[in-house]
């Protein structure tokens, strides 16, 4: 009777066989989901969809119901391709034929766990206990290690294209910085560059790595500079993608901002729909591709009490950071010893390309690349960015 029912289901649902084959090769060792149970929806259309329930390390395919934790959408041909080719999931995702919404961590983790690769360089997501707390990572590849650090409000997912580009030649590790994504979010942490740099050193210790190259975007670039200045023995080369740098001009709001406790972030003054609308107004193309998934990741963290507090604390530290003086970055920048590549966006409104002139004066040995993009070169100009990174790290 079960065989008859299964045969009928396959006839009624052409994608059922592909999804069954996909779920059958689920490998729990590639994916630490970080919670007891999750529901992931796999859909080819609004009416043609199934749910994968992952519980206690096992995955089973069920009828779709309720509200899923993550949604993976593709047409039937793409699902069949993913089921037939173990490399197809991430390739389809990068090409835009497979979309992941609500929770990129879960969606990419599911693809990693169904990729049927058992080699040391396989794609995997895991949660590491470190001296700085729990940190969530995604990694792939073998060779010299490369750590990738995202910007304010982003997650490790912002480096998925970079991970794919570098994995053939390096062991690439993207991490959710503390307070972001699926890493721990201590309420009273400093959330400044030295705090984040200390967490990365703790991650290197937990990974048993003496040193690694570092690629950082925006706030992650500022953390990379801190690592290069205060922990140069743990850093190979630095790639700084539109790095956050202290303002050299007057900051009119600084005196008032110092009076606001960041713990107020535990309060949510506006409903989700309003916050999401505000975020989308500032992000072009917010309904498509990587940008939509990135907004989902931001909202997932921001809508938690500790995530909001961490976001406000980190944003305030960026704005209030002193440029000069004994601890000022611009005062110390000339002491940078690791070789560094700075990538600037000509259309960047957050870190204007004018900063490049000041960096050249302080670090004359650094390499510079200007691209026709905004603040996130690895997503906006992936080919040029990744080719430059590979040449620099070679």
Which CA distances in Å does 317 have to 130, 156, 262, 325?
24, 21, 10, 16
Q: What is the pLDDT of residue 322?
A: 86
For residues 214 and 73, membership in a common domain is answered with no
Q: For 120, list phi and psi in degrees, rounded to 5.
A: -65, -20
> In angstroms, rounded to a whole number, what is the distance separating the alpha carbons of residues 24 and 186?
38
Enclosing domain of residue 34: 2-113
Residue 119 within any structural domain of the chain: no
Q: What is the pLDDT of residue 273?
A: 58
Apex CA 52: angle with CA 66 and CA 271, to 5°? 40
For residues 225 and 337, membership in a common domain is answered with yes
Instruction: Tokens for 225, please give them.
Output: 């500079």
pLDDT in tens, 29-49: 888 888 899 999 999 887 889
For residues 155 and 180, membership in a common domain is answered with yes
Residue 118 within any structural domain of the chain: no
For residues 315 and 371, membership in a common domain is answered with yes
Handedness of CA 223, 225, 231, 234 (dihedral sign): positive
Average pLDDT over residues 281-290: 54
Residue 218 has pLDDT above 90, yes or no: yes
For residues 109 and 141, membership in a common domain is answered with no
DSSP state letters, 335-385:
G--S-EEEEEETT-SSS-TTHHHHHHHH-TT-EEEEESS-S-HHHHSHHHH
> In angstroms, rounded to a whole number, what is the distance separating the alpha carbons of residues 174 and 193?
17
pLDDT in tens, 333-357: 999 999 999 999 999 988 999 999 9
> In angstroms, rounded to a whole number, what is the distance separating the alpha carbons of residues 180 and 152?
8
Q: Find the helix or strand (DSSP H, E) in which 131 lies.
A: none
pLDDT in tens, 168-190: 999 999 999 999 999 999 988 99
For residues 135 and 281, membership in a common domain is answered with yes
pLDDT in tens, 252-262: 655 545 555 55
pLDDT in tens, 45-69: 878 899 999 998 899 999 999 999 9
> In angstroms, rounded to a whole number, what is the distance separating the alpha carbons of residues 179 and 311?
7
Which range of 151-165, 216-230, 237-251, 276-290 scores highest in mean pLDDT? It is 216-230
Q: What is the pLDDT of residue 383?
A: 95
For residues 202 and 304, membership in a common domain is answered with yes
Share of the chain above pLDDT 70, in %: 83
Least confident of 34-43, 268-277, 363-372: 268-277
155 pLDDT band (50/70/90 cuts)?
very high
Q: What is the pLDDT of residue 289?
A: 62
Locus of tokens 């490369």: 146
pLDDT in tens, 220-234: 999 999 999 999 999
| C-beta of residue 59 within 8 angstroms of C-beta of residue 51 | no
| C-beta of residue 110 within 8 angstroms of C-beta of residue 149 | no
Q: What is the pLDDT of residue 275?
A: 57
Mean pLDDT of the chain: 86
Q: Give every strand in the sheet of 37-43, ordered side by side.
A: 58-63, 49-55, 37-43, 70-73, 99-101
Return the higher-pLDDT residue of 374 and 87. 374
Q: What is the pLDDT of residue 251?
A: 56
For residues 29 and 102, membership in a common domain is answered with yes
- Count: domains in the chain: 2
Average pLDDT over residues 362-367: 97
For residues 201 and 99, membership in a common domain is answered with no
For residues 165 and 62, membership in a common domain is answered with no
For residues 205 and 279, membership in a common domain is answered with yes
Q: What is the CATH number for 30?
A: 3.30.1050.10
For residues 205 and 224, membership in a common domain is answered with yes
Neighbours of 259 (CB within 10 A): 6
Q: Return the DSSP state at 142.
A: -
């Amino acid at each position: 009777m079960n065989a008859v029912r299964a045969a009928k289901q396959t006839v009624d649902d052409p994608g059922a066989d592909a999804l069954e084959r996909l779920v059958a090769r689920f490998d729990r060792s590639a994916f630490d989901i970080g919670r007891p149970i999750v529901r992931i929806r796999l859909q080819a259309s609004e009416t043609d969809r199934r749910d994968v329930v992952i519980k206690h390390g096992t995955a089973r395919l069920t009828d779709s119901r309720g509200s899923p934790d993550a949604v993976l959408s593709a047409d039937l041909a793409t699902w069949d391709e993913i089921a037939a080719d173990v490399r197809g999931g991430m390739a389809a995702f990068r090409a835009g034929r497979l979309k992941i919404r609500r929770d990129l961590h879960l969606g990419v983790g599911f693809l990693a766990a169904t990729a049927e690769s058992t080699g040391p360089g396989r794609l995997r997501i895991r949660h590491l206990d470190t001296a700085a707390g729990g940190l969530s990572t995604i990694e792939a590849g073998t060779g010299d290690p490369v750590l990738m650090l995202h910007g304010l409000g982003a997650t490790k997912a912002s480096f998925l294209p970079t991970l794919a580009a570098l994995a053939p030649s390096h062991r690439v590790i993207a991490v959710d910085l503390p307070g972001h994504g699926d890493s721990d979010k201590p309420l009273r942490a400093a959330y400044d560059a030295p705090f984040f740099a200390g967490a990365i050193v703790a991650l290197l210790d937990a990974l048993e790595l003496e040193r690694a190259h570092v690629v950082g975007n925006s706030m992650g670039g500022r953390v990379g500079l801190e690592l290069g200045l205060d922990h140069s023995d743990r850093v190979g080369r630095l790639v700084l993608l539109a790095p956050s740098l202290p303002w050299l001009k007057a900051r009119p709001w600084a005196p008032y901002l110092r009076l606001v406790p960041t713990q107020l972030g535990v309060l949510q003054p506006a409903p989700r729909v309003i916050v999401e609308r505000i975020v989308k107004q500032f992000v072009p193309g917010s309904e498509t591709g990587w940008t939509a998934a990135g907004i989902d990741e931001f909202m997932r963290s921001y809508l938690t009490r500790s995530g909001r507090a961490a976001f406000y604390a980190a944003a305030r530290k960026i704005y209030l950071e002193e440029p000069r003086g004994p601890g000022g970055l611009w005062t110390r920048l000339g002491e940078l010893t690791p070789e560094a590549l700075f990538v600037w966006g000509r259309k960047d409104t957050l870190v204007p390309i004018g900063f490049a002139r000041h960096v050249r004066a302080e670090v004359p040995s650094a390499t510079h690349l200007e691209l026709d993009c905004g603040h996130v070169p690895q997503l906006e100009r992936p080919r040029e960015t990744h080719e430059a990174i590979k040449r620099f790290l070679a």
